[in-house]
Structure 1
Protein backbone atom coordinates (compact mmCIF):
# COMPACT_ATOMS: atom_id res chain seq x y z
CA UNK A 1 0.00 0.00 0.00
CA UNK A 2 2.82 2.41 0.90
CA UNK A 3 4.56 1.71 -2.43
CA UNK A 4 1.33 2.31 -4.37
CA UNK A 5 0.77 5.58 -2.50
CA UNK A 6 4.34 6.70 -3.22
CA UNK A 7 3.87 5.95 -6.90
CA UNK A 8 0.61 7.92 -6.94
CA UNK A 9 2.32 10.91 -5.30
CA UNK A 10 5.17 10.70 -7.82
CA UNK A 11 2.72 10.61 -10.74
CA UNK A 12 0.69 13.54 -9.38
CA UNK A 13 3.86 15.57 -8.78
CA UNK A 14 4.95 14.99 -12.38
CA UNK A 15 1.47 15.93 -13.60
CA UNK A 16 1.49 19.21 -11.67
CA UNK A 17 4.99 20.14 -12.85
CA UNK A 18 4.86 19.00 -16.47
CA UNK A 19 1.15 18.81 -17.28
CA UNK A 20 -0.85 16.00 -18.84
CA UNK A 21 0.80 13.79 -21.45
CA UNK A 22 -0.77 13.76 -24.93
CA UNK A 23 -1.03 10.42 -26.73
CA UNK A 24 -1.58 9.98 -30.47
CA UNK A 25 -2.33 6.58 -31.95
CA UNK A 26 -3.26 4.77 -35.14
CA UNK A 27 -2.93 1.18 -36.38
CA UNK A 28 0.86 1.52 -36.72
CA UNK A 29 2.20 3.82 -34.02
CA UNK A 30 1.48 5.11 -30.55
CA UNK A 31 3.34 8.27 -29.56
CA UNK A 32 3.38 10.43 -26.46
CA UNK A 33 4.27 14.11 -26.11
CA UNK A 34 4.72 16.02 -22.88
CA UNK A 35 3.91 19.73 -22.45
CA UNK A 36 7.41 20.51 -21.17
CA UNK A 37 9.23 21.41 -24.37
CA UNK A 38 6.39 19.84 -26.40
CA UNK A 39 8.84 16.93 -26.34
CA UNK A 40 8.15 13.56 -27.93
CA UNK A 41 8.67 10.96 -25.18
CA UNK A 42 7.57 7.71 -26.82
CA UNK A 43 7.51 6.30 -30.35
CA UNK A 44 6.10 2.79 -30.14
CA UNK A 45 5.83 0.55 -33.21
CA UNK A 46 2.71 -1.42 -32.32
CA UNK A 47 3.11 -4.58 -34.41
CA UNK A 48 6.70 -5.24 -33.28
CA UNK A 49 6.36 -3.78 -29.79
CA UNK A 50 9.60 -1.81 -30.27
CA UNK A 51 9.96 1.45 -28.35
CA UNK A 52 12.14 3.42 -30.74
CA UNK A 53 12.67 6.55 -28.67
CA UNK A 54 15.42 6.76 -26.05
CA UNK A 55 13.79 6.77 -22.63
CA UNK A 56 15.87 9.58 -21.11
CA UNK A 57 17.87 7.70 -18.51
CA UNK A 58 19.02 10.63 -16.33
CA UNK A 59 22.26 8.82 -15.54
CA UNK A 60 23.18 8.81 -19.23
CA UNK A 61 21.31 11.58 -21.08
CA UNK A 62 18.06 12.86 -19.64
CA UNK A 63 16.23 13.88 -22.82
CA UNK A 64 14.08 12.09 -25.42
CA UNK A 65 13.72 14.47 -28.35
CA UNK A 66 14.16 18.13 -27.37
CA UNK A 67 12.98 20.87 -29.71
CA UNK A 68 15.59 23.58 -30.29
CA UNK A 69 14.49 27.23 -30.41
CA UNK A 70 15.40 30.09 -30.76
CA UNK A 71 18.98 28.84 -31.15
CA UNK A 72 20.63 25.60 -32.22
CA UNK A 73 23.83 24.70 -30.39
CA UNK A 74 25.83 27.08 -28.27
CA UNK A 75 26.22 30.86 -28.56
CA UNK A 76 29.52 32.52 -27.67
CA UNK A 77 29.48 33.71 -24.05
CA UNK A 78 26.00 32.16 -23.83
CA UNK A 79 24.61 35.38 -25.28
CA UNK A 80 22.57 36.59 -28.24
CA UNK A 81 23.46 39.98 -29.71
CA UNK A 82 20.28 41.67 -30.93
CA UNK A 83 20.05 45.35 -31.90
CA UNK A 84 23.19 46.19 -29.96
CA UNK A 85 22.05 44.49 -26.74
CA UNK A 86 23.09 41.14 -25.31
CA UNK A 87 20.61 38.56 -24.02
CA UNK A 88 21.52 35.46 -21.99
CA UNK A 89 20.68 32.23 -23.83
CA UNK A 90 21.42 28.63 -22.94
CA UNK A 91 22.65 26.00 -25.37
CA UNK A 92 19.83 24.97 -27.75
CA UNK A 93 17.55 27.73 -26.44
CA UNK A 94 14.73 27.92 -23.93
CA UNK A 95 11.92 26.08 -25.74
CA UNK A 96 12.97 22.65 -24.49
CA UNK A 97 12.64 23.90 -20.88
CA UNK A 98 9.37 25.79 -21.43
CA UNK A 99 5.82 24.65 -20.72
CA UNK A 100 3.76 24.58 -23.93
CA UNK A 101 -0.02 24.84 -24.10
CA UNK A 102 -1.85 22.04 -25.90
CA UNK A 103 -3.97 24.16 -28.24
CA UNK A 104 -5.36 21.36 -30.41
CA UNK A 105 -5.61 17.60 -29.98
CA UNK A 106 -7.30 14.69 -31.74
CA UNK A 107 -6.52 10.97 -31.90
CA UNK A 108 -3.80 11.48 -34.51
CA UNK A 109 -2.98 15.19 -34.40
CA UNK A 110 -1.86 17.73 -31.80
CA UNK A 111 -0.59 21.30 -31.72
CA UNK A 112 1.52 22.73 -28.88
CA UNK A 113 2.05 26.47 -28.51
CA UNK A 114 4.61 28.60 -26.71
CA UNK A 115 3.85 32.32 -26.61
CA UNK A 116 6.26 35.15 -25.92
CA UNK A 117 6.13 36.32 -22.32
CA UNK A 118 8.13 38.23 -19.75
CA UNK A 119 10.12 35.02 -19.22
CA UNK A 120 11.04 34.62 -22.91
CA UNK A 121 11.78 38.34 -23.45
CA UNK A 122 14.66 38.10 -20.99
CA UNK A 123 16.42 35.88 -23.55
CA UNK A 124 14.76 36.75 -26.86
CA UNK A 125 13.13 40.20 -27.16
CA UNK A 126 10.56 39.38 -29.84
CA UNK A 127 6.79 38.88 -29.83
CA UNK A 128 6.00 35.46 -31.29
CA UNK A 129 4.13 32.18 -31.14
CA UNK A 130 6.19 29.01 -31.54
CA UNK A 131 3.99 26.06 -32.48
CA UNK A 132 4.94 22.40 -32.84
CA UNK A 133 2.48 20.20 -34.72
CA UNK A 134 2.50 16.40 -34.56
CA UNK A 135 0.56 14.35 -37.12
CA UNK A 136 0.28 10.57 -37.53
CA UNK A 137 -0.28 9.18 -41.03
CA UNK A 138 0.17 5.43 -41.26
CA UNK A 139 3.69 4.51 -40.07
CA UNK A 140 4.85 8.13 -40.35
CA UNK A 141 4.95 10.85 -37.71
CA UNK A 142 5.38 14.34 -39.15
CA UNK A 143 6.60 17.22 -36.98
CA UNK A 144 6.04 20.78 -38.19
CA UNK A 145 7.65 23.83 -36.63
CA UNK A 146 5.75 27.10 -37.04
CA UNK A 147 6.98 30.53 -35.95
CA UNK A 148 4.30 33.24 -36.03
CA UNK A 149 5.70 36.77 -36.04
CA UNK A 150 3.56 38.97 -33.77
CA UNK A 151 6.18 41.70 -33.59
CA UNK A 152 6.53 44.96 -35.54
CA UNK A 153 9.85 43.90 -37.05
CA UNK A 154 11.52 40.90 -38.63
CA UNK A 155 12.30 38.07 -36.21
CA UNK A 156 15.62 36.20 -36.52
CA UNK A 157 16.01 32.71 -35.05
CA UNK A 158 17.32 29.19 -35.46
CA UNK A 159 15.30 26.02 -35.08
CA UNK A 160 16.01 22.31 -34.98
CA UNK A 161 15.17 18.81 -33.78
CA UNK A 162 17.14 16.45 -31.53
CA UNK A 163 15.34 13.05 -31.41
CA UNK A 164 17.28 10.16 -29.85
CA UNK A 165 16.58 6.65 -31.13
CA UNK A 166 17.38 3.58 -29.08
CA UNK A 167 20.09 1.33 -30.51
CA UNK A 168 19.98 -1.63 -30.70
CA UNK A 169 16.30 -2.40 -31.27
CA UNK A 170 16.52 -5.86 -29.64
CA UNK A 171 18.34 -7.05 -26.52
CA UNK A 172 20.37 -9.75 -28.31
CA UNK A 173 22.04 -7.23 -30.64
CA UNK A 174 25.01 -4.89 -30.46
CA UNK A 175 25.34 -1.18 -31.20
CA UNK A 176 27.72 -1.83 -34.08
CA UNK A 177 25.15 -4.07 -35.80
CA UNK A 178 23.54 -0.81 -36.95
CA UNK A 179 24.33 1.85 -39.52
CA UNK A 180 22.97 5.12 -40.88
CA UNK A 181 22.02 4.79 -44.54
CA UNK A 182 22.06 8.06 -46.47
CA UNK A 183 19.62 8.76 -49.27
CA UNK A 184 22.48 9.32 -51.72
CA UNK A 185 26.00 8.04 -52.01
CA UNK A 186 28.17 11.08 -51.33
CA UNK A 187 31.37 12.01 -49.48
CA UNK A 188 30.77 12.96 -45.86
CA UNK A 189 32.66 15.78 -44.19
CA UNK A 190 32.01 16.79 -40.59
CA UNK A 191 32.65 20.29 -39.28
CA UNK A 192 34.74 20.05 -36.14
CA UNK A 193 33.67 21.43 -32.78
CA UNK A 194 35.84 22.79 -29.98
CA UNK A 195 35.63 21.54 -26.40
CA UNK A 196 33.17 24.38 -25.79
CA UNK A 197 30.89 23.23 -28.61
CA UNK A 198 31.79 25.93 -31.16
CA UNK A 199 32.94 25.38 -34.74
CA UNK A 200 36.71 25.61 -35.20
CA UNK A 201 36.70 26.08 -38.99
CA UNK A 202 38.28 22.64 -39.44
CA UNK A 203 36.65 19.76 -41.27
CA UNK A 204 37.29 16.02 -41.29
CA UNK A 205 36.30 13.29 -43.74
CA UNK A 206 33.95 10.67 -42.34
CA UNK A 207 34.51 7.12 -43.52
CA UNK A 208 31.57 5.39 -45.20
CA UNK A 209 30.96 2.30 -47.27
CA UNK A 210 28.77 3.17 -50.25
CA UNK A 211 26.06 5.26 -48.57
CA UNK A 212 26.40 3.64 -45.13
CA UNK A 213 27.86 5.15 -41.98
CA UNK A 214 28.60 2.35 -39.53
CA UNK A 215 27.70 3.01 -35.90
CA UNK A 216 30.43 2.29 -33.38
CA UNK A 217 30.80 3.06 -29.68
CA UNK A 218 33.63 5.48 -30.51
CA UNK A 219 32.01 7.26 -33.45
CA UNK A 220 31.13 10.31 -31.34
CA UNK A 221 34.22 10.48 -29.14
CA UNK A 222 34.95 13.95 -30.58
CA UNK A 223 31.38 15.22 -30.20
CA UNK A 224 28.67 15.38 -32.86
CA UNK A 225 29.12 14.82 -36.56
CA UNK A 226 27.78 17.93 -38.28
CA UNK A 227 27.10 17.93 -42.00
CA UNK A 228 26.49 21.28 -43.71
CA UNK A 229 26.64 20.35 -47.38
CA UNK A 230 24.64 17.16 -47.79
CA UNK A 231 22.58 16.46 -50.88
CA UNK A 232 20.79 13.66 -49.01
CA UNK A 233 17.51 14.73 -47.42
CA UNK A 234 16.73 11.33 -45.91
CA UNK A 235 18.62 8.98 -43.60
CA UNK A 236 17.60 5.56 -42.28
CA UNK A 237 18.71 3.78 -39.13
CA UNK A 238 18.85 0.07 -39.88
CA UNK A 239 20.64 -3.25 -39.40
CA UNK A 240 21.46 -6.14 -41.72
CA UNK A 241 20.10 -8.53 -39.09
CA UNK A 242 16.41 -7.67 -39.68
CA UNK A 243 14.08 -5.44 -41.69
CA UNK A 244 13.05 -3.02 -38.95
CA UNK A 245 14.13 0.57 -39.52
CA UNK A 246 13.60 4.22 -38.64
CA UNK A 247 13.74 6.82 -41.43
CA UNK A 248 14.07 10.56 -40.92
CA UNK A 249 13.10 12.79 -43.87
CA UNK A 250 14.16 16.44 -43.62
CA UNK A 251 13.49 18.09 -47.02
CA UNK A 252 13.62 21.66 -45.64
CA UNK A 253 16.62 21.27 -43.32
CA UNK A 254 20.05 21.79 -44.96
CA UNK A 255 22.07 20.93 -41.84
CA UNK A 256 22.16 17.51 -40.15
CA UNK A 257 23.72 16.53 -36.86
CA UNK A 258 24.39 12.98 -35.63
CA UNK A 259 25.31 12.47 -32.00
CA UNK A 260 25.33 10.10 -29.07
CA UNK A 261 26.96 10.24 -25.71
CA UNK A 262 29.98 7.95 -26.27
CA UNK A 263 29.08 4.39 -25.36
CA UNK A 264 25.38 5.15 -24.80
CA UNK A 265 22.73 2.94 -26.49
CA UNK A 266 21.12 5.57 -28.70
CA UNK A 267 21.81 7.81 -31.66
CA UNK A 268 20.39 11.29 -32.29
CA UNK A 269 19.42 12.23 -35.84
CA UNK A 270 19.07 16.02 -35.83
CA UNK A 271 17.73 18.15 -38.71
CA UNK A 272 18.72 21.78 -38.19
CA UNK A 273 17.90 25.20 -39.56
CA UNK A 274 20.74 26.90 -37.73
CA UNK A 275 23.89 25.84 -35.92
CA UNK A 276 26.31 26.70 -33.12
CA UNK A 277 28.58 29.73 -33.27
CA UNK A 278 32.14 29.55 -34.55
CA UNK A 279 35.12 30.40 -32.39
CA UNK A 280 35.93 34.10 -32.44
CA UNK A 281 33.84 37.19 -31.76
CA UNK A 282 30.04 37.17 -31.29
CA UNK A 283 28.03 38.35 -34.29
CA UNK A 284 24.65 40.10 -34.41
CA UNK A 285 21.84 37.57 -34.67
CA UNK A 286 21.00 38.48 -38.28
CA UNK A 287 24.60 37.64 -39.30
CA UNK A 288 24.77 34.26 -37.59
CA UNK A 289 25.40 31.25 -39.81
CA UNK A 290 22.22 29.61 -41.19
CA UNK A 291 19.98 32.09 -39.37
CA UNK A 292 16.29 32.07 -40.29
CA UNK A 293 13.88 34.98 -40.37
CA UNK A 294 10.19 35.72 -40.64
CA UNK A 295 8.84 39.17 -41.55
CA UNK A 296 6.30 41.15 -39.55
CA UNK A 297 2.89 39.47 -39.75
CA UNK A 298 4.25 36.38 -41.56
CA UNK A 299 4.50 32.72 -40.60
CA UNK A 300 7.52 30.44 -40.94
CA UNK A 301 7.02 26.68 -41.33
CA UNK A 302 9.38 23.72 -41.69
CA UNK A 303 8.55 20.02 -41.44
CA UNK A 304 10.43 16.77 -40.98
CA UNK A 305 9.11 13.26 -40.48
CA UNK A 306 9.95 9.96 -38.80
CA UNK A 307 8.79 6.73 -40.46
CA UNK A 308 8.97 3.39 -38.66
CA UNK A 309 9.04 0.09 -40.52
Structure 2
Protein backbone atom coordinates (compact mmCIF):
# COMPACT_ATOMS: atom_id res chain seq x y z
CA UNK A 1 0.00 0.00 0.00
CA UNK A 2 1.22 3.50 -0.85
CA UNK A 3 -0.09 6.81 0.46
CA UNK A 4 0.30 10.53 -0.16
CA UNK A 5 -1.34 13.61 1.29
CA UNK A 6 -1.53 17.37 1.07
CA UNK A 7 -3.12 19.83 3.51
CA UNK A 8 -6.63 18.73 2.58
CA UNK A 9 -6.76 15.03 1.76
CA UNK A 10 -4.92 11.75 2.11
CA UNK A 11 -5.21 8.82 -0.31
CA UNK A 12 -3.96 5.23 -0.35
CA UNK A 13 -3.24 3.04 -3.38
CA UNK A 14 -2.91 -0.74 -3.47
CA UNK A 15 -0.01 -2.44 -5.21
CA UNK A 16 -2.32 -4.84 -7.04
CA UNK A 17 -3.84 -3.08 -10.01
CA UNK A 18 -2.77 0.35 -8.68
CA UNK A 19 -6.27 0.51 -7.19
CA UNK A 20 -7.38 3.53 -5.18
CA UNK A 21 -8.17 2.28 -1.66
CA UNK A 22 -8.91 5.36 0.45
CA UNK A 23 -9.81 9.06 0.19
CA UNK A 24 -9.86 10.73 3.59
CA UNK A 25 -10.49 14.38 4.32
CA UNK A 26 -7.95 15.79 6.76
CA UNK A 27 -10.50 18.44 7.73
CA UNK A 28 -13.26 16.13 8.95
CA UNK A 29 -11.39 12.79 9.10
CA UNK A 30 -14.11 11.14 6.98
CA UNK A 31 -13.63 8.33 4.45
CA UNK A 32 -15.23 8.99 1.07
CA UNK A 33 -14.30 5.77 -0.74
CA UNK A 34 -16.17 2.50 -0.24
CA UNK A 35 -14.32 0.16 2.13
CA UNK A 36 -14.58 -2.93 -0.10
CA UNK A 37 -16.69 -5.17 2.14
CA UNK A 38 -17.26 -8.47 0.31
CA UNK A 39 -20.71 -8.76 1.90
CA UNK A 40 -21.77 -6.45 -0.90
CA UNK A 41 -18.79 -6.03 -3.23
CA UNK A 42 -15.11 -6.49 -2.47
CA UNK A 43 -13.82 -3.93 -4.94
CA UNK A 44 -13.12 -0.27 -4.28
CA UNK A 45 -11.92 1.47 -7.45
CA UNK A 46 -10.52 -1.03 -9.96
CA UNK A 47 -9.00 0.25 -13.20
CA UNK A 48 -10.51 -1.43 -16.26
CA UNK A 49 -7.91 -2.23 -18.93
CA UNK A 50 -7.70 -3.36 -21.68
CA UNK A 51 -11.48 -3.95 -21.72
CA UNK A 52 -14.54 -2.44 -20.05
CA UNK A 53 -17.30 -4.87 -19.14
CA UNK A 54 -17.77 -8.35 -20.51
CA UNK A 55 -16.75 -9.77 -23.86
CA UNK A 56 -19.17 -12.11 -25.63
CA UNK A 57 -18.32 -15.62 -24.38
CA UNK A 58 -15.29 -13.98 -22.68
CA UNK A 59 -13.51 -14.09 -26.04
CA UNK A 60 -12.14 -11.60 -28.56
CA UNK A 61 -10.58 -12.23 -31.96
CA UNK A 62 -7.40 -10.48 -33.13
CA UNK A 63 -5.62 -11.29 -36.39
CA UNK A 64 -7.76 -14.40 -36.79
CA UNK A 65 -6.89 -15.83 -33.36
CA UNK A 66 -9.20 -16.20 -30.35
CA UNK A 67 -8.12 -14.92 -26.95
CA UNK A 68 -9.88 -15.62 -23.66
CA UNK A 69 -10.36 -12.57 -21.46
CA UNK A 70 -12.39 -12.11 -18.28
CA UNK A 71 -14.68 -9.18 -17.45
CA UNK A 72 -13.04 -5.75 -17.12
CA UNK A 73 -9.57 -6.88 -18.24
CA UNK A 74 -6.48 -8.22 -16.48
CA UNK A 75 -4.97 -5.02 -15.07
CA UNK A 76 -7.25 -4.76 -12.02
CA UNK A 77 -5.84 -8.02 -10.61
CA UNK A 78 -2.26 -7.65 -11.76
CA UNK A 79 0.57 -7.90 -9.25
CA UNK A 80 3.12 -6.86 -11.91
CA UNK A 81 2.37 -3.15 -11.45
CA UNK A 82 5.37 -1.11 -10.30
CA UNK A 83 5.60 2.24 -8.54
CA UNK A 84 7.90 4.34 -10.74
CA UNK A 85 7.48 7.83 -9.27
CA UNK A 86 6.60 9.22 -5.85
CA UNK A 87 6.54 12.80 -4.60
CA UNK A 88 4.73 14.32 -1.63
CA UNK A 89 1.53 14.70 -3.65
CA UNK A 90 1.88 12.36 -6.65
CA UNK A 91 2.23 8.63 -7.33
CA UNK A 92 2.79 7.02 -10.72
CA UNK A 93 2.48 3.30 -11.46
CA UNK A 94 3.45 1.36 -14.58
CA UNK A 95 2.99 -2.02 -16.20
CA UNK A 96 4.42 -3.30 -19.48
CA UNK A 97 3.54 -6.33 -21.58
CA UNK A 98 4.95 -9.68 -20.53
CA UNK A 99 4.81 -13.33 -21.57
CA UNK A 100 1.72 -13.65 -19.38
CA UNK A 101 -0.15 -10.65 -20.82
CA UNK A 102 0.69 -11.63 -24.41
CA UNK A 103 -1.12 -14.93 -23.88
CA UNK A 104 -4.42 -13.11 -23.30
CA UNK A 105 -3.79 -9.79 -25.07
CA UNK A 106 -1.44 -9.82 -28.09
CA UNK A 107 -0.07 -6.29 -27.92
CA UNK A 108 3.16 -4.78 -26.63
CA UNK A 109 2.49 -1.74 -24.47
CA UNK A 110 3.27 0.40 -21.47
CA UNK A 111 0.38 1.51 -19.28
CA UNK A 112 0.93 4.21 -16.66
CA UNK A 113 -1.47 5.56 -14.04
CA UNK A 114 -0.76 8.59 -11.89
CA UNK A 115 -2.60 9.97 -8.88
CA UNK A 116 -2.02 13.63 -8.03
CA UNK A 117 -3.50 15.68 -5.19
CA UNK A 118 -4.59 19.22 -6.01
CA UNK A 119 -6.47 20.91 -3.18
CA UNK A 120 -9.57 18.80 -2.43
CA UNK A 121 -9.21 16.88 -5.69
CA UNK A 122 -7.60 13.62 -6.75
CA UNK A 123 -6.57 13.82 -10.41
CA UNK A 124 -6.12 10.41 -12.09
CA UNK A 125 -4.28 10.28 -15.43
CA UNK A 126 -3.81 7.22 -17.62
CA UNK A 127 -1.12 7.01 -20.28
CA UNK A 128 -0.87 4.18 -22.83
CA UNK A 129 1.95 3.74 -25.35
CA UNK A 130 1.93 1.17 -28.15
CA UNK A 131 5.40 -0.40 -28.11
CA UNK A 132 4.63 -2.90 -30.85
CA UNK A 133 4.93 -2.73 -34.62
CA UNK A 134 1.22 -3.00 -35.46
CA UNK A 135 -1.98 -1.33 -34.32
CA UNK A 136 -3.05 -1.82 -30.70
CA UNK A 137 -6.72 -2.02 -29.72
CA UNK A 138 -7.94 -1.31 -26.19
CA UNK A 139 -10.63 0.14 -23.96
CA UNK A 140 -10.15 1.93 -20.65
CA UNK A 141 -12.42 2.60 -17.71
CA UNK A 142 -12.74 3.40 -14.03
CA UNK A 143 -14.92 1.76 -11.37
CA UNK A 144 -14.68 3.85 -8.15
CA UNK A 145 -17.25 3.23 -5.41
CA UNK A 146 -18.21 6.00 -3.01
CA UNK A 147 -19.82 5.89 0.41
CA UNK A 148 -23.42 7.07 0.36
CA UNK A 149 -23.01 8.48 3.84
CA UNK A 150 -19.99 9.80 5.71
CA UNK A 151 -21.59 9.13 9.09
CA UNK A 152 -23.28 5.72 8.81
CA UNK A 153 -21.60 3.36 6.37
CA UNK A 154 -24.45 0.84 6.63
CA UNK A 155 -26.88 3.38 5.21
CA UNK A 156 -28.28 2.46 1.79
CA UNK A 157 -28.12 4.53 -1.38
CA UNK A 158 -31.86 5.40 -1.14
CA UNK A 159 -30.87 8.62 0.62
CA UNK A 160 -28.60 9.54 -2.29
CA UNK A 161 -29.05 11.35 -5.57
CA UNK A 162 -26.80 11.90 -8.56
CA UNK A 163 -26.74 15.43 -9.98
CA UNK A 164 -25.49 16.00 -13.52
CA UNK A 165 -23.75 19.14 -14.64
CA UNK A 166 -26.37 19.78 -17.35
CA UNK A 167 -30.01 18.94 -18.00
CA UNK A 168 -30.03 15.57 -19.74
CA UNK A 169 -32.22 13.51 -22.04
CA UNK A 170 -30.70 10.06 -22.26
CA UNK A 171 -31.46 6.36 -21.93
CA UNK A 172 -29.69 3.47 -20.26
CA UNK A 173 -28.57 0.62 -22.49
CA UNK A 174 -29.90 -2.57 -20.95
CA UNK A 175 -27.66 -5.47 -19.96
CA UNK A 176 -28.71 -9.13 -20.21
CA UNK A 177 -27.96 -11.94 -17.76
CA UNK A 178 -24.64 -12.65 -19.48
CA UNK A 179 -23.46 -9.10 -18.88
CA UNK A 180 -23.85 -8.08 -22.54
CA UNK A 181 -25.81 -5.19 -24.02
CA UNK A 182 -29.09 -6.53 -25.39
CA UNK A 183 -29.59 -3.56 -27.77
CA UNK A 184 -32.67 -2.26 -25.93
CA UNK A 185 -32.91 0.92 -23.90
CA UNK A 186 -34.88 2.33 -20.97
CA UNK A 187 -35.56 6.03 -20.48
CA UNK A 188 -33.79 7.34 -17.39
CA UNK A 189 -33.14 11.03 -17.91
CA UNK A 190 -36.08 13.00 -19.29
CA UNK A 191 -35.24 16.70 -19.28
CA UNK A 192 -33.68 16.50 -15.83
CA UNK A 193 -30.26 16.64 -14.21
CA UNK A 194 -31.02 14.39 -11.21
CA UNK A 195 -31.32 10.67 -10.59
CA UNK A 196 -32.82 9.79 -7.20
CA UNK A 197 -31.51 6.34 -6.32
CA UNK A 198 -33.92 3.68 -5.09
CA UNK A 199 -34.21 -0.10 -4.78
CA UNK A 200 -35.15 -0.45 -8.45
CA UNK A 201 -32.31 1.67 -9.81
CA UNK A 202 -30.01 -1.30 -10.49
CA UNK A 203 -32.45 -4.18 -10.85
CA UNK A 204 -31.25 -4.62 -14.47
CA UNK A 205 -27.56 -4.21 -13.59
CA UNK A 206 -25.66 -0.96 -14.22
CA UNK A 207 -27.05 2.17 -15.79
CA UNK A 208 -25.11 2.69 -19.03
CA UNK A 209 -25.06 6.10 -20.71
CA UNK A 210 -23.62 6.84 -24.15
CA UNK A 211 -24.78 10.37 -25.00
CA UNK A 212 -24.49 12.56 -21.93
CA UNK A 213 -23.86 16.27 -22.37
CA UNK A 214 -22.43 16.59 -18.87
CA UNK A 215 -18.76 16.24 -18.01
CA UNK A 216 -19.41 16.25 -14.27
CA UNK A 217 -21.62 14.32 -11.87
CA UNK A 218 -22.13 14.93 -8.15
CA UNK A 219 -23.16 12.47 -5.43
CA UNK A 220 -25.31 14.01 -2.72
CA UNK A 221 -26.95 12.68 0.45
CA UNK A 222 -30.21 14.31 1.48
CA UNK A 223 -29.05 14.51 5.11
CA UNK A 224 -25.41 15.49 4.53
CA UNK A 225 -25.44 17.45 1.29
CA UNK A 226 -22.87 17.13 -1.49
CA UNK A 227 -20.26 14.42 -0.94
CA UNK A 228 -18.14 14.13 -4.09
CA UNK A 229 -17.96 15.37 -7.68
CA UNK A 230 -16.50 13.29 -10.51
CA UNK A 231 -15.28 15.12 -13.63
CA UNK A 232 -14.82 12.95 -16.71
CA UNK A 233 -14.48 15.11 -19.84
CA UNK A 234 -12.09 12.62 -21.52
CA UNK A 235 -14.55 9.72 -21.07
CA UNK A 236 -17.61 9.69 -23.40
CA UNK A 237 -19.40 6.79 -21.67
CA UNK A 238 -20.59 6.56 -18.07
CA UNK A 239 -21.73 3.65 -15.93
CA UNK A 240 -23.53 3.89 -12.57
CA UNK A 241 -23.87 0.75 -10.46
CA UNK A 242 -24.43 -0.69 -7.02
CA UNK A 243 -25.70 -3.81 -5.25
CA UNK A 244 -29.16 -4.13 -3.65
CA UNK A 245 -29.36 -2.33 -0.29
CA UNK A 246 -25.69 -1.40 -0.53
CA UNK A 247 -24.15 1.63 1.23
CA UNK A 248 -22.16 2.69 -1.84
CA UNK A 249 -22.60 3.74 -5.45
CA UNK A 250 -20.10 3.42 -8.29
CA UNK A 251 -19.61 6.30 -10.74
CA UNK A 252 -17.70 4.83 -13.68
CA UNK A 253 -16.16 6.92 -16.48
CA UNK A 254 -15.54 4.71 -19.50
CA UNK A 255 -13.64 4.82 -22.77
CA UNK A 256 -15.27 1.66 -24.06
CA UNK A 257 -18.21 -0.56 -23.26
CA UNK A 258 -19.28 -4.20 -22.90
CA UNK A 259 -19.95 -6.27 -26.01
CA UNK A 260 -23.46 -6.47 -27.38
CA UNK A 261 -25.14 -9.87 -27.51
CA UNK A 262 -24.74 -9.97 -31.30
CA UNK A 263 -21.05 -8.95 -31.29
CA UNK A 264 -18.81 -10.45 -33.98
CA UNK A 265 -16.07 -10.64 -31.30
CA UNK A 266 -13.60 -9.07 -33.74
CA UNK A 267 -11.62 -6.57 -31.68
CA UNK A 268 -11.32 -4.18 -34.64
CA UNK A 269 -15.12 -3.95 -34.81
CA UNK A 270 -15.80 -3.63 -31.07
CA UNK A 271 -17.89 -0.60 -30.13
CA UNK A 272 -15.82 2.37 -28.93
CA UNK A 273 -12.53 0.46 -29.20
CA UNK A 274 -9.47 2.71 -29.33
CA UNK A 275 -7.02 2.12 -32.17
CA UNK A 276 -3.45 3.17 -31.37
CA UNK A 277 -0.81 3.07 -34.11
CA UNK A 278 2.69 1.75 -33.53
CA UNK A 279 4.83 3.97 -31.24
CA UNK A 280 1.92 6.33 -30.62
CA UNK A 281 0.55 7.22 -27.18
CA UNK A 282 -2.81 8.05 -25.64
CA UNK A 283 -3.82 9.71 -22.38
CA UNK A 284 -7.04 10.41 -20.49
CA UNK A 285 -7.71 12.09 -17.16
CA UNK A 286 -10.61 12.21 -14.71
CA UNK A 287 -10.87 13.62 -11.20
CA UNK A 288 -12.61 13.12 -7.86
CA UNK A 289 -13.31 16.18 -5.74
CA UNK A 290 -14.46 15.76 -2.15
CA UNK A 291 -16.75 18.27 -0.45
CA UNK A 292 -16.05 18.61 3.24
TM-score (normalised: structure 1) = 0.90
Q: Is the counterpart of residue 109 in structure 1 residue 102 in structure 2?
A: no
**2:146 aligns with one of 161, 165, 169:** 165
Larger Rg: 1
> 52, 58, 66: which one pairs with 1:78?
58
Among candidates 12, 17, 26, match of residue 46 of structure 1: 26
Tell whether the 8 Å contact from 1:111 to 1:133 is kept in structure 2 after alignment.
yes
Alpha-carbon distance, 1:295 to partner: 1.3
2:134 to 120, 137, 153: 153
**In structure 2, how many angstroms separate the alpha carbons of the residues matched to 1:39 and 1:149?**
23
Any stretches of 5+ residues in structure 2 without a counterpart? none
Give the drift of 1:85.
Answer: 0.4
Pick aligned residue for 1:299 from 281, 284, 288: 281
**Pairing partner for 1:196 from 156, 175, 178:** 178
Matching residue within 82, 103, 120 for 1:139: 120
Q: Secondary structure at the match of 1:184?
A: strand
Aligned residue runs from structure 1 range 1-309, under 5 A: 21-99=1-79, 100-171=81-152, 175-206=157-188, 210-309=192-291
Post-superposition shift, 1:106? Answer: 1.1
CA distance in 1, matches of 2:158, 2:18: 31
Q: Distance in 1 between matches of 2:99 and 2:22?
A: 31
Q: By how many angstroms is 1:217 displaced?
A: 2.8
In structure 2, C-alpha distance between the alignment counterparts of 1:285 and 1:36, rounded to whole Å: 26
Structure-2 change in CA distance of 1:72 and 1:170 (3 Å):
same
Q: Distance in 1 between matches of 2:156 and 2:226?
A: 15
Following superposition, the deviation at residue 171 of structure 1 comes to 1.9
Structure 1 position 35, deviation (Å): 1.1
Structure 1 vs Structure 2 CA RMSD: 1.4
Superposition deviation, residue 188 in structure 1: 2.8
Contact 2:168/2:190 (<8 A) preserved: no
1: CA distance between counterparts of 2:6 and 2:199?
A: 35
Distance 1:120 1:49 in 2: 40
TM-score, scaled relative to structure 2? 0.95
Residue 289 of structure 1 deviates from its aligned partner by 0.2
CA distance 1:97–1:272, change in 2 (3 Å): same
SS at match of 1:202: strand
Q: Which structure 1 residue ranges, 5 or more long, are not aligned? A: 1-20
CA contact (8 A) 1:219 1:262 kept: no
1-side partners of 2:130 and 2:204: how far apart? Answer: 38
Count of residue pairs brought into register by the alignment: 289
4+ runs deviating over 4 angstroms:
none
Cα distance between partner residues in 1 of 2:149 and 2:170: 24
Secondary structure of residue in 2 paired with 1:211: strand
CA separation in 1, counterparts of 2:156 and 2:180?
32
SS of the aligned residue for 1:203 comes to: strand
Distance in 1 (alpha carbons) for counterparts of 2:58 and 2:5: 39
